[in-house]
Copies of this chain bind each other. A is one copy, B any other.
């Protein structure tokens, strides 16, 4: 919080409209960055997130710098339950804890190469506008088995960016900031509440209805996080376990 209001510093924020990425908006603002949110429309089922992302960008006064990027080809490629209508999203009762999940147990909701793609596009945007950092709300504790949420993945992408980009070659590489990576969901929510992050505008449900389902992996993690943080989740649920 010590770098408050250092005028020209810019950061690109990968903003899905969910709890984690919205917390990243609050953290980047508190660090004094001018916010350049970027949201990806890749035919995901939870399309309500796109509206949430727009509302969050507006909340932070960043709607004029908010890019919504169409990636319809990801749906065309197929291969994930999040974009492929022929694969069902699991409604599991045993998957609320993921901390020690083995690496080969990658869930069907994995979208091939998604975060690599998101970070590549964010890099292009960051380089074009002269941003010094990209914020992404990945989390190592409850990464749910996605290979591209792990810290070693993020470090490797930074190494690529250092050799791939103009700014990397010419001196000042773009940093990837992952402020949530070591935090539990409860810690994220506590930090977010201190920063007055607008959680009432966010949804985390994989099924993407107007009311969150309360039973998918993502809803369970969120509800457990609010409970452990000792605070009320301001959004509506169809069911709570």
Residues on A facing B (Cβ under 8 Å): 67, 69-70, 72-74, 76-79, 103-104, 106, 110-117, 119-121, 123-125, 127-129, 147-148, 150, 152-153, 156-157, 159-161, 163-166, 168-170
Q: Within 8 Å CB of A157, what residues of B?
A: 160, 164
Q: With contacts A120-B113, A159-B159 known, is A125 near B166, CB below 8 A?
A: no
Q: With contacts A70-B70, A76-B67 known, is A147 near B163, CB below 8 A?
A: yes
Q: Within 8 Å CB of A106, what residues of B?
A: 166, 169-170
Q: List 23 A-B contacts (CB under 8 A).
A: A67-B73, A69-B73, A70-B72, A73-B121, A74-B124, A78-B128, A79-B127, A104-B169, A106-B170, A111-B124, A113-B120, A113-B121, A113-B127, A113-B161, A116-B120, A117-B121, A117-B123, A147-B165, A148-B165, A156-B156, A156-B159, A157-B164, A159-B159
Q: Within 8 Å CB of A115, what residues of B?
A: 164
In the bound complex, CA of A116 to CA of B166 (Å): 12
Q: Within 8 Å CB of A110, what residues of B?
A: 166
